[in-house]
């Protein structure tokens, strides 16, 4: 949370981040126009929003799951909704905070982008949980192969 709050300060405004991204773009693509540069910087900043709130929502989900017994299911829609709600609430507070910071603006668009990032982070966790369950079942099936093959091979030797 403190990282997100720190990014809301003036040091992470467009003017400051373009000092880093702009020279890098000119080094990679020397003939870039100012319009293209602005579009790429805007896109990079919004990708940062998505990434930071995806990480934040997964950490909130992890914190919510710490209170569960070990044998509880991997995924809970209640915890998903709670983590998403916390992420949206914090995104709203973050944008509200930015209205008081010089050279920053708070806007609903960024809250929606942050919420999208949070939901994408939780979606990835959900998919990883599904893959983990598939892998556990697949491993159990593979572990049974010698049990099935050994009697058949033994029977063929005897015959």
Structural domain count of the chain: 1
What length is written for the chain? Answer: 159
CA distances from 127 to 26, 73, 121, 135 (A): 38, 14, 10, 12
- Rounded to 10 deg, the angle between the 34-65 and 108-158 helix axes is 60
CB 40 within 8 A of CB 17: no
Q: Give the range with max mean pLDDT: 12-21, 38-47, 115-124, 141-150.
A: 115-124
The answer, yes or no, to whether residue 118 has pLDDT greater than 90, is yes
Name the band, by pLDDT with cuts 50, 70 and 90, for residue 116. Answer: very high
Please report the pLDDT score of residue 93 as a whole number. 87
Give residues with Cβ within 8 angstroms of 124, minimum separation 6.
54, 58
The answer, yes or no, to whether residue 39 has pLDDT greater than 60, is yes
Residue 69 and residue 67: Cα distance in Å, rounded?
A: 7
The answer, yes or no, to whether residue 85 has pLDDT greater than 90, is yes
In the predicted model, what is the mean pLDDT of residues 108-119?
Answer: 92
Please report the pLDDT score of residue 12 as a whole number. 47
Using one digit for the tens of pLDDT, what is the confidence trace for 56-67? 999 999 888 876
Please report the pLDDT score of residue 68 as a whole number. 63
pTM above 0.75, yes or no: no
Using one digit for the tens of pLDDT, what is the confidence trace for 9-35? 544 445 545 667 777 777 888 888 878
Name the band, by pLDDT with cuts 50, 70 and 90, for residue 88. Answer: very high
H helices of 99-107, in order, are none
Full domain range(s) for residue 9:
2-158
How many other β-carbons are positioned within 10 Å of the β-carbon of residue 129? 13
Residue 25 and residue 37: Cα distance in Å, rounded?
A: 7
Q: Give the range with max mean pLDDT: 63-67, 98-102, 107-111.
A: 107-111
CA distances from 31 to 27, 39, 41, 96 (A): 9, 15, 16, 38
Please report the pLDDT score of residue 25 as a whole number. 74
């Amino acid at each position: 949370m403190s990282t997100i709050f720190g990014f809301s300060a003036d040091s992470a405004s467009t003017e400051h981040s373009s000092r880093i991204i702009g020279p890098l773009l000119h080094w990679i693509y020397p003939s870039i126009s100012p319009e293209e540069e602005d579009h790429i910087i805007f896109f990079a900043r919004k990708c940062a929003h998505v990434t930071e709130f995806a990480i934040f929502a997964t950490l909130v989900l992890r914190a919510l799951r710490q209170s569960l017994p070990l044998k509880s299911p991997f995924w809970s829609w209640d915890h998903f909704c709670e983590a998403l709600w916390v992420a949206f609430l914090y995104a709203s507070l973050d944008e509200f905070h930015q209205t008081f910071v010089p050279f920053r603006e708070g806007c609903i668009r960024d809250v929606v982008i942050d919420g999208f990032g949070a939901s994408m982070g939780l979606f990835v966790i959900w998919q990883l949980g599904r893959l983990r369950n598939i892998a556990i079942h697949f491993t159990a099936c593979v572990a049974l192969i010698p049990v099935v093959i050994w009697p058949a091979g033994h029977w063929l030797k005897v015959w």
